[in-house]
Amino acid sequence: DSGVTQTPKHLITATGQRVTLRCSPRSGDLSVYWYQQSLDQGLQFLIQYYNGEERAKGNILERFSAQQFPDLHSELNLSSLELGDSALYFCASSQRVSDTEAFFGQGTRLTVV
Amino acid sequence: DAKTTQPNSMESNEEEPVHLPCNHSTISGTDYIHWYRQLPSQGPEYVIHGLTSNVNNRMASLAIAEDRKSSTLILHRATLRDAAVYYCILSRTSGTYKYIFGTGTRLKVLA
């Protein structure tokens, strides 16, 4: 158990809908990362937050947004969903903004039908 | 972001050492070398990291070439539980860490 909690574990939704994925980092970790893993793309870095502020952005679509709240949990919002958004979404956390070890959650499997 | 190159797959016999190579010819002086692995149906987990010197921990050893353009992850005695995808990643020491994952090496351990 990495200490990073992601909910829900599974999510099935229809195209065009909007969903919110939640991540609770390890106790004491200030930095949260989001990744998308699909079969044909591998693990893609989406975005990083540190202590409530956005710190790095990767290949995140405009339809996707994220935030980190004062209690340090983070949410990834996915809207106008398409079939291609079906993937595993991982959250990771680390203590600092620049850290050598990140801890990953078990992921949320999103299926868009 | 600097890129890494790894073989797509490797096989090893149980109880034998495994050497997983990684090429990173465009590495810069401030890049750390990280290794993560992803077991089936799980999120990635940290294995080891280094900057210039070889590193050992309870999971593995990391051997870094003198010119830092390549590195090797060494599992001293492979077990069936070590079957996973192993990712070699570079990340800058300054600013923020963006772990950019490549395609990794799928390690198969034979009983």
What are the φ/ψ torsions at residue A73 (nearest 5 degrees)?
-70, 160
| Radius of gyration of chain B from its Cα atoms, rounded to whole angstroms | 13
CB contact under 8 A, B46 and A33: no
Q: Do β-strands B105-110 and B9-13 pair in parallel, antiparallel, or remain unpaired?
A: parallel
- Which of B5, B34, B37, B46 should be substituted to probe chain A, the one whose Cβ sees the most A Cβ atoms within 10 Å? B46
Residue type at B7 in one-letter notation? P
Does the pLDDT of residue B95 top 60, yes or no? no
Query: Residue B40: which pLDDT band, with cuts at 50, 70 and 90?
Result: confident
Confidence grade of residue A28 (pLDDT, cut at 50, 70, 90): very high
Q: Which residue has the higher pLDDT, A1 or B81?
A: B81
User: Can you give the pLDDT at residue B93?
Assistant: 57
Q: Which residues in chain B touch residue A102, judged by CB atoms under 8 angstroms apart? A: 46, 97, 99
pLDDT digits (tens, 9 = 90+) for A89-104: 999 999 877 667 889 9
Query: Angle at CA B31, nearest 5°, toward B57 and A27?
Result: 60
Of B42, B97, B103, the CB nearest to A42: B103
Output the pLDDT for position A41. 72
How confident is the model at residue B101, as a pLDDT? 81
pLDDT tens by residue, A30-77: 999 999 999 877 889 899 999 999 988 888 999 999 999 999 999 999
- Residue A1 binned pLDDT confidence (cut-offs 50, 70, 90): confident
pLDDT confidence of residue A2? 87
Per-residue confidence (pLDDT) for residue B3, from 0 to 100:
82
Interchain pair B102, A42: CB under 8 A: yes
Indicate the average pLDDT of chain B: 90
Q: Given this model, what pLDDT does residue B26 score?
A: 87
Average pLDDT of the residues in B40-58? 92
Task: Find which of A100, A103, A108 to mutate to test the B interface (most B CBs within 10 Å of its CB).
Answer: A100
- Give yes or no for A108 touching B (CB within 8 A): no
pLDDT confidence bin for B103, thresholds 50/70/90? confident
CB pairs under 8 A between A and B: 60
Touching check for A41 and chain B: CB below 8 Å?
no
The strand pairing partners of B71, in sequence order, are B22, B64
Terminal-residue alpha carbon distance, chain A: 31
Query: Greater confidence, B38 or A98?
Result: B38
The confidence score (pLDDT) of residue B94 equals 58
Query: Average pLDDT of B26-41?
Result: 89
Interchain contact A25–B (C-beta under 8 A): no
Q: Could you tell me if A35 lies within 8 Å of chain B, comparing CB atoms? A: yes
For chain A, the helix, strand and coil percentages under 3-state DSSP, each to the nearest 5: 5, 55, 45
Q: How confident is the model at residue A4 (pLDDT cuts 50, 70, 90)?
A: very high
